[in-house]
């Protein structure tokens, strides 16, 4: 099934999408990557969803990526004697370590690490930022605050601390267990939540041991500040606008999103834009105009992927949500303005032979009648560099490694094919590329393709050859060197 767009769609699985028929329907509607949200459901439930995706992949004959999204450390207040309390603007309120049920003037905050990091003047946000408090005085076991924005606070509501870098590891004990579980399952991507510093990514990569690519979710102000170092330590990025929009002024999120996308593209690493993209479709069969514009803007910015969360996991219209996203992407990418913006934002990075090869492939494809750029890749890097160029023609990524093919399902414009085995000679590589182009409906026998590869073959990081080749095999055998 050839997609008629380059941007990829990530769909979260959940109660509304847990059986074979619904997951297959999501794939057929346009989902390229399936997300397992480790914050919800048991490991057995996630294993069942993983197995169904792999069965759909087998039945459809096309690689599908699976992303396991780790929960991360959740900061929550304790309970109240009446299950809730009303906080009025201007009134005092205390957080402390006393586990006694809370009242209207105090509640337990069972996180001593928060108190250790707080300073007078810091902000505490409760219930996704609906309640805002300012710290007046604090110590190792308490924080006396003034309510700046009131509201109802109830049992175990989430607490955000935007002003300080908390001495918290991004991986909780649950996350470590889920990470090992996901790696043993064979997921392709791991998403690390509430990243604050490069060391968080280093720890996750060490635990993953190369069994999955590791992606950083940017949802903390500290992560925005440390983004260059985090990007360097990551295989990909998710702009997770939920908590980011809670901890930062909402008007700051769109420019941050644009800057992060641009940085990821410069680095040749995939970036997902996530959270509330089609939120109303949880309950409605059609989105709002603002939501459609939000999806479109992420695509215009050059994002590799856009993501559905509750819309596909728990909503009433999961297939319709994917279909809508697919249609928006096709419409945007057919707009001449989209191509103008993509090309105007192209980064001319030419520091390696591979950079030069993929740039030349794109330029040749766009100045002659070339139907596709076919790149042979072991690690996936060559395909990601080609995707960074955002060429006008399709990218065909060929690899003998099914794991690489699956991982590349997240990268812009890549159409992934698993070759029968290691290619030892360049002529065989060209033949394989021509067959993939024809079988995928990208080219006919009379057409030409660009083939990039590395010699010697099957060695990561050796992209050093480019060939304009015919799609007719008789011409390949007659003209190509061994």
Residue numbers annotated as active site: 35, 76, 217, 275
Cα distances (Å, whole numbers) of residue 429 to 42, 212, 379, 418: 44, 27, 17, 12
Q: Yes or no: say if 179 and 208 are a contact pair by the CB < 8 Å rule.
A: yes
Cα distances (Å, whole numbers) of residue 349 to 83, 269, 359, 391: 57, 14, 9, 15
Nearest one of 384, 377, 199, 229 to 304, comparing CA atoms: 384
Q: Write out the H or E segment, with its range, that includes residue 138.
A: strand 131-139
* Alpha carbon distance 107, 94 (integer Å): 7
Burial class (CB in 10 A: 0-12, 13-18, 19+), 459: exposed
Cα distances (Å, whole numbers) of residue 75 to 38, 71, 310, 384: 16, 11, 21, 36
Q: Yes or no: say if 17 and 313 are a contact pair by the CB < 8 Å rule.
A: yes
Burial class (CB in 10 A: 0-12, 13-18, 19+), 172: middle
Q: Yes or no: say if 95 and 75 are a contact pair by the CB < 8 Å rule.
A: no
Alpha helices in 334-380 (DSSP H): 336-344, 353-367
* Alpha carbon distance 402, 416 (integer Å): 9
């Amino acid at each position: 099934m050839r997609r008629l767009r380059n941007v990829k769609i990530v769909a979260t699985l959940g109660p509304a999408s847990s059986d074979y028929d619904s997951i297959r329907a999501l794939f057929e509607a346009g989902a390229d990557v399936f997300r397992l949200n480790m914050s919800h459901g048991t490991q057995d439930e996630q294993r069942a969803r993983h197995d169904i995706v792999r069965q759909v992949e087998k039945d459809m004959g096309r690689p599908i990526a699976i992303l396991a999204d780790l929960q991360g450390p959740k900061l929550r207040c304790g309970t109240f004697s009446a299950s809730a309390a009303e906080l009025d603007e201007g009134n005092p309120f205390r957080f402390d370590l006393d586990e006694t049920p809370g009242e209207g003037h105090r509640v337990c905050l069972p996180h001593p690490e928060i108190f250790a990091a707080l300073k007078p003047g810091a902000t505490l946000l409760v219930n996704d930022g609906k309640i805002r408090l300012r710290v007046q005085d604090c110590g190792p076991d308490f924080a006396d605050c003034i309510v700046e924005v009131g509201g109802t606070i109830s049992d175990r509501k989430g607490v955000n601390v935007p002003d300080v870098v908390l001495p918290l590891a991004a991986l909780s004990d649950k996350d470590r267990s889920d990470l090992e579980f996901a790696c043993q399952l064979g997921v392709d991507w791991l998403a690390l939540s509430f990243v604050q510093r490069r060391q968080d990514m280093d720890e996750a990569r060490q635990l993953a041991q190369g069994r999955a690519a590791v992606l950083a979710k940017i949802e903390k102000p500290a992560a925005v500040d440390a983004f260059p170092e985090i990007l360097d330590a990551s295989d990909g990025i998710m702009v997770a606008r939920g908590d980011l929009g809670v901890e930062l002024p909402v008007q700051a999120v769109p420019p941050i999103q644009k800057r992060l996308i641009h940085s990821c593209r410069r680095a040749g690493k995939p970036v997902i834009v996530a959270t509330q993209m089609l939120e109303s479709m949880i309950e409605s069969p059609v989105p709002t105009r603002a939501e459609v514009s939000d999806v479109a803007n992420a695509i215009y910015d050059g994002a590799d992927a856009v993501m559905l969360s509750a819309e596909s996991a728990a909503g009433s219209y999961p297939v319709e949500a994917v279909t809508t996203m697919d249609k928006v992407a096709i419409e945007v990418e057919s707009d001449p303005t989209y191509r103008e913006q993509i090309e105007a934002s192209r980064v001319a990075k030419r520091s390696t032979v591979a950079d030069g090869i993929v740039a030349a492939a794109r330029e040749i494809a766009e100045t002659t009648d070339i139907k596709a750029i076919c790149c042979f890749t072991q690690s996936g890097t060559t395909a990601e560099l080609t995707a960074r160029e955002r060429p006008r023609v399709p990218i065909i990524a060929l690899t003998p490694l099914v794991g690489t093919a699956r991982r590349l399902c997240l990268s812009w414009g890549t159409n992934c094919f698993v070759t029968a085995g290691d290619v030892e000679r360049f002529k065989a590589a060209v033949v394989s590329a021509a067959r993939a182009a024809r079988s995928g409906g990208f080219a006919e026998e009379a057409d030409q393709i660009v083939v990039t590869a590395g010699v010697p073959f099957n060695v990561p990081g050796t992209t050093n050859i480019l060939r304009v080749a015919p799609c007719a095999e008789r011409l390949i055998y007659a003209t190509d060197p061994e």
